[in-house]
Chains A and B, each alone.
Chain A
Amino acid sequence: MDIVYFAWVRERIGLPRERVETSAATVADLVAELSAREDRYAAAFADVSALRVALDQELSDFDAPLEGVREVAFFPPMTGG
């Protein structure tokens, strides 16, 4: 599964994209798995209410299932316009 990061999430984790092998059932499970890996992930995911997630480039929720998902994106609330 590809994971992509944007804005300060990308800066905190230190890379824009990575491929991970995971059996996480939901986005929240994936966040817990990554946070347990290293401090930089824990720092980026410390407050998930300050984050948004997209699954295969569609906005989604942290309790959404990951089955069949190819790309997960984490980023702060958008500031377009």
Chain B
Amino acid sequence: MPVRVQEAPFDLGLETAAFAAGDATMGAVVTFTGVVRDLPDTPLIAMEIEHYPGMTERALTTIAQEAITRFRLGDALVIHRYGRLTPGEMIMMVATSAPHRVDAFAAAEFLMDYLKSRAPFWKREITAKGAAWVAAKDADEAALERWVGDRK
């Protein structure tokens, strides 16, 4: 259950290939990649990502472990970057493996929903107009609700 928090970029292809090669009894591997999105009106100069060293790794491990148990996964991978990133750069990825695709897809969504609102990361957008912290969305918090009381 690899969980990594790092400043350096990662290679999506290599990470996915290494993850998928782990266990031949897993018929499905799902990956999700988060990318720094440019803004439609005011171009984004950079996105700065702050995190809480120590707690971040712990929170991600807890979330990944919960996903593995809940969806009977073969394995789960979470990589999340911090520091200064520019539009188009990959911020993070999750990968899940399961015997069947339904579990692998659901687990990837579960991981993302929890990661959005329960892993200690904060984003700050830098534009020509200045810098602003990205506010948490109510929709992200609401997305967690569907997993509560829905234990498989």
Where the two chains meet, the residues of A that have a C-beta atom closer than 8 Å to any C-beta of B are: 4, 6-8, 54, 57-59, 73, 75-81
Contact = CB atoms under 8 A, between A and B. Distances in A.
Contacts of B121: 78-81
Contacts of B123: 79
Nearest to A52: B120
B116 interface: yes
Interface residues on B, range: 20 to 34
Main secondary structure of the interface of B (DSSP, over half): mixed
Given A7-B50, A73-B52, A57 B119 contact: no
A54 to B, nearest CB: 6
Given A73-B52, A78-B120, 6 more contacts: A8-B133, A54-B120, A73-B120, A76-B135, A79-B121, A81-B34
A7 B124 contact: yes
Given A76-B122, A79-B122, A57 B116 contact: no
B112 interface: yes
B119 A6 contact: no
A6 B116 contact: no
B58 interface: yes
Contacts of B124: 7
Contact of B80 (A58, A73, A80): A80
B120 A75 contact: yes
B136 A57 contact: no
Contacts, number: 67
Contacts of A81: 34, 91-92, 112, 115-116, 119, 121
Contacts of B115: 80-81
B55 A57 contact: yes
B55 to A, nearest CB: 4
Interface of B: 34, 50, 52, 54-55, 58-59, 80, 91-92, 112, 115-124, 133-136, 141
A75 B133 CA distance: 12
A40 to B, nearest CB: 17
Given A6-B52, A59-B118, A79 B134 contact: yes
B117 to A, nearest CB: 6
